[in-house]
Each structure stands twice: as C-alpha cells, then as structure tokens.
Amino acid sequence: MNQGADGYLKGRILCPSAETEPRAYSNWNANNRSILGFMGLVIDEAEQEIIDGASTAAAAWKLLVQRHAQEGPIKQVQLIQEALNVGYSTSEKYSTTSSKLTTLNKRIWDMGSLDSELFLCIMMINSMSNVPELCATRENVAQQFAQSDGTKPDLKKNPTARKYNSSDIKQALDMAQGLVDSDSKTADIALSAQASQKSGFCHPKCSIPGCPRPIGHTKDWCVSPGGGMAGKTIAESREARLKE
C-alpha cells in the first residue's frame, strides 16, 4: 500500500485512459482521491490551502515539497534544533528514531546546501531566539531573509537580485543595541533625578535647645519654652501652620 501511494505521489503511476481502460481509470481516480483526502487530514491548515487546487496526489505532493524547500533559514534552524533534540531510547524502536532523523536530515538539506555564510546567518538568527528584546529584530530579519534571494545570489544572471547576509543581520543588531543603550541611559537619568530630589529634600529642624522633637518644625512653630508657639499645644501649632 505504501509503495503504491508513493507511486501516486511521485507521479510514477499515471492515470489510465478512460476510453481504453475504464475500470483502471476508475480505480486510479479512487486511489488518487483517497491519497488526497489522507494528505488533507495529516497536514496543517496553511498547507491545506496550498494543495487546495491540486487535482492529483502528485501535484499536491510537488506543491508541498516546494513549500518546505523554500521556507528558508528560520525553518532550517527549527529543523536542526529538532534533529539535535532527537535521541535514541528504549521506549521507542531504534529503527523508528533512525527514520525520524533520516526524514529531518532530508528536509534540512532539501532547503538548500549550507555554506559558511548561510550557516553563520542561521547561528545568528538562532541566538536571538530566547532574548525578548530581540523578538522584533528576529522577526524582521526572518522577513527580510525570506524576501531576499539568499546570501550569494548570482548577480550576473539576475542583476536585480537582492542579497541578504550576516552583514545585514549585524546592522539590524546594531540598531537594536542602540535602542537598548538609549533605554539604559534614560533609566539612568531618571534614577539620577530621583536621587537628586531625595537628597535635596531636607526636613525642617528646630533650633530650640532641649526641644524633645526637633525634626519636622522650626523655632517659630515650636511649643517648647523659647519657641514661637510656646505654651500652645502641638495641634494648635500645626493648625496655625496650615492657615499660613
């Protein structure tokens, strides 16, 4: 069954003539519809939209292969991470794990061969993954990369090709660093201003010798002997200050 399905997916089993082989034609269409239906069940919604117009399993499979081959370095990063996290275990048959690794390896290399420049870009993009401050930068880099013609486009064949490489990523990171530095300076200035305000504020102090509570008022409002409010209560002194 798997070999038969593979023949439909790869286009090796061609559709017979409806006129000369009506029964074979009917069987082929039934099998083709079954495979298309199964594909629709196991792929995600975004991929379902891609194969929506495909009338044969081979056409749908070709569209899916093209999609995954063009997903770019971001997807390669994810697949490489996924592959490196796969491990052999007694809880799963070793052959099953080997099959997973084989599939992941094929998908990684189907996206294009890695050279030193592309691999550097992948490492830089991957290194932004767990930094909240670089979330927007990473998304922008990913978008720019997807819209470009790669790190080393053939400008002779296509003079209008748009190159995007590690230099562009470094430039984006420099801009992000500038924002971080700016935010840091702003925070330092704010803290400095707060410290200055606190250090510049002094509580009034009474100069009357023997005042039991000298902090919080001056001589003019002190109720102790010799003070401006001598003989008054603290409440009366406070009320008088509020009226001024």
In terms of Cβ atoms closer than 10 Å to its own Cβ (0-12, 13-18, 19+), residue 244 is exposed
Angle (CA) 215 219 225, round 5°: 105
What is the distance between the alpha carbons of residues 175 and 133, in angstroms, rounded to a whole number? Answer: 12
Residue 108 lies in a domain: no
Percent helix, strand, coil in the chain, to 5, is: 65, 0, 35
Concatenate the DSSP letters of all residues of 179-242 into one string.
HHHHHHHHHHHHHHHHHHHHHH----B--STT-S--BT--GGG--STTSTTTTS-HHHHHHHHH
Q: What are the structure tokens assigned to 28, written together? A: 């082929």
What is the distance between the alpha carbons of residues 163 and 146, in angstroms, rounded to a whole number? Answer: 11
Q: What are the structure tokens assigned to 98, written together? A: 């080997």
In terms of Cβ atoms closer than 10 Å to its own Cβ (0-12, 13-18, 19+), residue 63 is middle
Domain span holding position 224: 204-243
In terms of Cβ atoms closer than 10 Å to its own Cβ (0-12, 13-18, 19+), residue 197 is exposed
Task: Show pLDDT as tens, one digit a residue, over the chain (244 residues).
Answer: 455 678 888 888 899 999 999 999 999 999 989 988 888 888 877 778 888 888 898 999 888 877 765 566 667 777 887 888 888 988 989 999 999 999 988 888 877 777 888 888 888 888 888 888 888 888 888 888 877 877 888 888 888 888 889 999 999 999 888 888 876 665 555 555 555 555 555 567 788 776 767 777 788 878 777 888 887 877 787 777 777 6
Number of domains observed in the structure of the chain: 1
Whether pTM exceeds 0.85:
no
